[in-house]
Amino acid sequence: MLKAGVIGCGGRGRAHAQGYQLSPEVEIVACADPIDDSRGAFIDQFEVERGVRRLPGDVGERGPRFCQCLYLDSPAYRNDRRCRK
């Protein structure tokens, strides 16, 4: 089972999450979005066990141990320099 995280819980992030749900080999275990309503709706819709507001301090340092893959869909101006490497 591949444990996936989604960064950016808007329309595109939800569309990718719907695609992940089609595979019995993928479980969405985490999400990140600075907008509380978007993050909360994503958690409810996809039954995600962990949702955080900020990537670098919350998921970024623990993400590699918690998730095996991360899908990043956030506006470029919100991407941390470490995510662009």
Is-above-0.85 flag for pTM?
Answer: no
Q: DSSP per residue over 23-83, as a string?
A: -TTEEEEEEE-S-HHHHHHHHHHHT-SEEES-IIIIIITTHHHH-SEEEE-S-GGG--GGG
Per-residue confidence at 78, pLDDT binned at 50, 70, 90? low
User: The domain containing residue 78 runs over which residues?
Assistant: 2-84
Query: How many Å apart are CA 85 and CA 80, to the nearest integer?
Result: 10
Instruction: Give residue 79's pLDDT.
Output: 57
Instruction: Give residue 81's pLDDT.
Output: 55
Instruction: Give residue 39's pLDDT.
Output: 94
Kindly report the CATH number assigned to the domain that includes residue 40.
3.40.50.720
Per residue in 8-61, pLDDT (tens digit) is 899 989 999 999 999 999 999 999 898 999 999 999 999 998 888 876 544 445
Structural domain total, the chain = 1
